[in-house]
Structure 1
Amino acid sequence: MKLWGGRFTKETDKLVNNFNASISFDQKFYKQDITGSLAHVEMLGKQGIITEAESLEIQKGLKAILFDIETGLLEISDEYEDIHSFVEATLIERTGDVGKKLHTGRSRNDQVALDMKLYTRDEVLAVDEELKELLQVILRIMKENTETYMPGFTHLQKAQPVTIAHHFGAYFEMFKRDRSRLFDIHERMNYCPLGAGALAGTTYPLDRELTAKLLGFAGPTLNSMDSVSDRDYLIEFLSALSTIMMHLSRFSEEIIIWNSNEYRFIELDDAYSTGSSIMPQKKNPDIAELVRGKTGRVYGALVSLLTTMKGIPLAYNKDMQEDKEFTFDAIDTVKGCVSLFKGMIDTMKFNNTNMEASAKNGFTNATDAADYLVKNGIPFRDAHGIVGQLVLFCIEKNISLDDMTLAEYKTICPVFKEDIYEAISLKTCVEKRLTIGAPSPTAMNQVIKICEDYLK
């Protein structure tokens, strides 16, 4: 069944029909489509555009269709062009002529715009919930590891000692910002396009405020042309999803490095690893690698929609049908990646001994050795050069700063005393960094409390 056959005298070519049809993917909207129709027809009855009895009969029919689809009693058929025509045809088949009044005062353009907004709004909240659960896992790891030392890196070179809590706290902040972006998108998109018609509204006395209220929107959209052609909220959502994947990909890259034989900072749970078909010793970080790989897939969805929209004049054009498939795929990809990543980090074990040894052997306490000299009257630039000599000496001897004798220290600079060892211990290096946002347990516990309050 087509909703537009009256003007045509020939059947659509089968290839054209298949190319034009969207039911293979927009059937995902069946619940949103029926929900929108229920609000629309309730409003039609209240406005006297159709009778209250007709409105109630149509609502009853729509609810029955929804029930039958969800219980498997009714199968969505691909002989229809889209989900809208399937629902309407099924309604007419079941209720007769009264069902033909459902589409009064409505175009498929504002109907499509509504369905996509309702679906996206639900998915914004679903992704947000996945991120919240991931943050809870990250926070648990932070709370348990405020004194678990590891090297911090810049340029993938060991830089200064930090803790697991501090390192994971960086990702807590990233995913917290991601949730903030989702909140902004939800607020900005939450206006109802229903009643915009094809592009210029309608002569029927619709109550757009009522339909907006019934569907949980903040209000109706204020320009009917923009209402049916706006896909900004999808571009914003795909951009936010891309940023989430970028953060996951960065984190995955670190998991992959930490899991390597050279680092051995972590042990991934067997449930989140795979082996090799030929090398029996292998335990591969496939989940992290797949998350990293699927990031490009989500980026592709964003670029695809931006490219689709860039040359479209007002108002609706069929190009916009291309907004759906890759958006659905991107949403499903992100939700799956966040969920699996959460399970992976929740079950992995930290090799604390290797992490601490790596921090010691990487001269991560060199800055603190320089600070020691500054506190003993040496200008920082001179102190920097002296510690550089210390590091060079250690490299030649294949030892760490902690392993040098006091005599060796004094040979390079007589200012060094016995207290140098305490000054450059990992414990001191971390614990003396007390400013908010720094890695000391004192500072981290402040941040952890803020994070706990945020998740409440």
Structure 2
Amino acid sequence: MLDTNKLNQLKLDFFTRFGGAEQKEFWSHEEGKAYFLSKATWAIPRYVQVHKAWTVMLVRQGILKRDQGATILAALSRIGLDTIPEMAETYDRRYPKTLMQLERYLRDKIGNIASNVMLGRTLPPPHYRMMMREAILPLLEAVLEFRGTLLEYSEKHRDVVMPGYTHYFHAQPMTFGHYLLGFHEAIAHASNQLETTYASVNRCDLGCGALAGTSFEIDRALPARLLGFDGFIEHANYCVAGTDQAIDLICAMTNLTLPMGRTCTEMYTWCTFEWNMMEISSKLSETSNMMPQKKNPGLLEDIRSSVGYVMGSYNECCARGHNIQWGDSREVQQLSESTVPIAKKVTQLVQLYNKVIPEIILHPEQMLRYAQEGFSTCSELAAVLVREVGMPFRVTHAIVAEVVRRLIDKGKTAADTTPELVDEAAVAIIGEPVGLTEEQIKGAMDPIVFVETHDSIGGVAPKEVLRMVNERRKDLEAARRRQKDRLGQLEKADQELEAAVRELIGG
């Protein structure tokens, strides 16, 4: 009969497969120890958490004897951040990975029985998914806060008339509130995409074996619940082969940061002397070491520049992930882990932009003057000709285009449009005047009137902007409730896991 006590105390070399010598020489002791310490602060508490959940399941399924499970769980419960220095002091370079060092440490404490925490499972799952979700949650929190700020200032600036631009030329009047609300729409879409990504990430891959599952009668749902996951991924090989969770997150962050970069570029331009439509308050501005007149909107530069980091990361993830085997490999794990520092960087960018929005000082008189002079109301003059004269749109389009050409040739602006000029243009195009009154022309060419009357769904009218803001606030509150539920689920799982551990060890 086997001597289980002897087996439990047997000293084993992890690299028995090839004698161990080559691997032992790969790291120096100090290099390996430094690598361990660089990973341990984050990794060890999560590894312990996973080991606890898996051990609870093994005991409940009868795979592991209760007393053995209790011994393992008691040892795991004594491991925390304050244990890491001791683990580093006893570092054994025969175990190069952090998870292996943890198992080695447990075996030193309670013998080879500690290795049963690895029954029916492989190394990576579900650690990188836990790492990713811990990065997504604060990012979502920052995005929800940013959405609230954008909605607040969309409402506040819904009456500030300015030119709207297409192709960098005046197009139609809008308000700065409408502009910010459009920005919010893009951020809200990315916010929803991040929530979907969280749901994709928050599926447990624990218990997949190496790719084929296991012959042990495990319960994959239990550790998934104890670790706060929404469920588990069924297909065993997909558990270790899938990279979509990383690409999902990178895509969501790309959709989040692209509009941030674009609006930064526009507002940066609008702060210049030549545009002078706005400025960033002195609180967040920078000056020059040499030029005393400078008031640089440096934070907009920082945000815009850092967006490029995310774009580059998107390309990097696709390049790294396209030619690896469909199965477990180091690249799969590294691809997911590489998204975490990017998510932390994006969180900082969102928080930074959230500070900028309240510090934007508008110059509404200048914004209105540009809208009055820049021909952005011409589409409404064409619409008036359709409504009042009954002309086909393309004919009115040609007449108004002729009006604009004549005004520009004379060095005049849209504010100089008169009934006589419109009639001259009409005669040139159709051979007869159209007879609009001065009141009709002023109403058509006034950007304030334009904004007030363009009240179709999604339009620039202040009342329509306010309606949309109120609707979006409802959406935001629902998103905040979902975020609270996600955080609550993790907290509840922690409590359930610790209760299960206490029940087994009798604490």
Question: Is the TM value for this pair above 0.5?
Answer: yes
Q: Is the 8 A contact 1:26 1:82 kept in 2?
A: no
Q: 1:35 aligns with which of 31, 49, 52?
A: 49
The offset of 1:143, in angstroms, is 0.9
Match of 1:390 in 2: 403
Q: Is the 8 A contact 1:266 1:349 kept in 2?
A: yes
Match of 1:432 in 2: 453
CA gap of 1:271–1:311, structure 2 versus 1, over 3 A, is same
Q: Which amino acid aligns with 1:135?
A: R
Q: Is the 8 A contact 2:165 2:172 kept in 1?
A: yes
Deviations 1:360-382 (A, max 9, x none): 12111111122222222143333
Q: 2:281 aligns with which of 252, 266, 269?
A: 269
Q: Following the alignment from structure 1 to structure 2, what is the Cα–Cα distance between the partners of residues 260 and 363?
A: 22
Q: 1:160 aligns with which of 161, 168, 172?
A: 172
Q: Is the 8 A contact 2:139 2:344 kept in 1?
A: no
2:72 corresponds to 1:55: no
Equivalent positions of 1:131-150 (< 5 A) are: 131-150=143-162
The offset of 1:274, in angstroms, is 2.2
Equivalent positions of 1:326-405 (< 5 A) are: 326-377=338-389, 378-405=391-418
Q: 2:96 aligns with which of 81, 88, 91?
A: 81
The offset of 1:348, in angstroms, is 1.7
Match of 1:7 in 2: 17
Q: Which moved more, 1:383-392 or 1:128-137?
A: 383-392
CA gap of 1:223–1:250, structure 2 versus 1, over 3 A, is same
SS of residue paired to 1:152: strand
Q: Following the alignment from structure 2 to structure 1, what is the Cα–Cα distance between the partners of residues 374 and 63?
A: 77
Q: Matched residue pairs, number?
A: 450
Q: Which amino acid aligns with 1:387?
A: V
The offset of 1:247, in angstroms, is 1.8
The offset of 1:67, in angstroms, is 5.0
Equivalent positions of 1:218-257 (< 5 A) are: 218-257=230-269
SS of residue paired to 1:349: strand
Q: Following the alignment from structure 2 to structure 1, what is the Cα–Cα distance between the partners of residues 12 and 368?
A: 69
Q: Following the alignment from structure 2 to structure 1, what is the Cα–Cα distance between the partners of residues 13 and 122?
A: 10
Deviations 1:80-132 (A, max 9, x none): 63331233334344445553433233321xxx130111221232332222111
SS of residue paired to 2:171: strand
The offset of 1:157, in angstroms, is 0.3
**Which structure is richer in relative contact order (CA contacts within 8 A, separation 6 or more)?**
2
Structure 1 alignment gaps of length 5 or more: none
Q: Is the 8 A contact 2:131 2:337 kept in 1?
A: no
The offset of 1:16, in angstroms, is 6.5
Deviations 1:15-34 (A, max 9, x none): 56879x97576544344322
Q: Is the 8 A contact 2:37 2:88 kept in 1?
A: no
Q: Which amino acid aligns with 2:163?
A: P
2:103 corresponds to 1:103: no
SS of residue paired to 2:460: coil
Q: Following the alignment from structure 1 to structure 2, what is the Cα–Cα distance between the partners of residues 338 and 4?
A: 45
Q: Following the alignment from structure 1 to structure 2, what is the Cα–Cα distance between the partners of residues 424 and 264?
A: 23
CA gap of 1:101–1:379, structure 2 versus 1, over 3 A, is closer
SS of residue paired to 1:356: helix
Deviations 1:278-330 (A, max 9, x none): 22222223222222222232222222222222222232123334325532221
Q: Following the alignment from structure 2 to structure 1, what is the Cα–Cα distance between the partners of residues 287 and 12?
A: 52
Q: 1:119 aligns with which of 131, 140, 143?
A: 131
2:64 corresponds to 1:44: no
Q: Which moved more, 1:73-82 or 1:269-278?
A: 73-82
Deviations 1:24-55 (A, max 9, x none): 76544344322212211111221222233433
Match of 1:185 in 2: 197
Q: Which moved more, 1:434-443 or 1:212-221?
A: 212-221
CA gap of 1:3–1:85, structure 2 versus 1, over 3 A, is farther
Q: Following the alignment from structure 1 to structure 2, what is the Cα–Cα distance between the partners of residues 120 and 213?
A: 17
The offset of 1:148, in angstroms, is 0.8
Q: Which amino acid aligns with 1:12?
A: Q
Q: Is the 8 A contact 1:390 1:401 kept in 2?
A: no
Match of 1:418 in 2: 438
Q: Which amino acid aligns with 1:83?
A: T
CA gap of 1:170–1:33, structure 2 versus 1, over 3 A, is same
Q: Which amino acid aligns with 1:416?
A: L
Deviations 1:199-225 (A, max 9, x none): 222232221121122122233322211
Q: Is the 8 A contact 2:45 2:81 kept in 1?
A: no
The offset of 1:194, in angstroms, is 0.7
Aligned-pair Cα RMSD in Å: 2.8
Q: Following the alignment from structure 1 to structure 2, what is the Cα–Cα distance between the partners of residues 163 and 252?
A: 17
Q: Is the 8 A contact 2:372 2:445 kept in 1?
A: no
Q: 2:82 aligns with which of 68, 84, 93?
A: 68
CA gap of 1:295–1:76, structure 2 versus 1, over 3 A, is farther
Q: Is the 8 A contact 2:157 2:177 kept in 1?
A: yes
Q: Which amino acid aligns with 1:263?
A: W
Q: Is the 8 A contact 2:242 2:332 kept in 1?
A: no
Q: Which amino acid aligns with 1:6?
A: T
Q: Following the alignment from structure 2 to structure 1, what is the Cα–Cα distance between the partners of residues 27 and 250?
A: 30
Deviations 1:123-171 (A, max 9, x none): 2332222111110010001111121101100000011100111111111
SS of residue paired to 2:51: helix
Larger Rg belongs to? 2
The offset of 1:405, in angstroms, is 4.9
Q: Which amino acid aligns with 1:395?
A: I
The offset of 1:410, in angstroms, is 4.9
Q: Following the alignment from structure 2 to structure 1, what is the Cα–Cα distance between the partners of residues 297 and 348?
A: 16
SS of residue paired to 1:65: coil
The alignment-based identity, stated in percent, is 26
Q: Which amino acid aligns with 1:106?
A: R
Q: Is the 8 A contact 2:451 2:461 kept in 1?
A: yes
2:228 corresponds to 1:216: yes
Q: Which amino acid aligns with 1:51?
A: K
CA gap of 1:157–1:42, structure 2 versus 1, over 3 A, is same
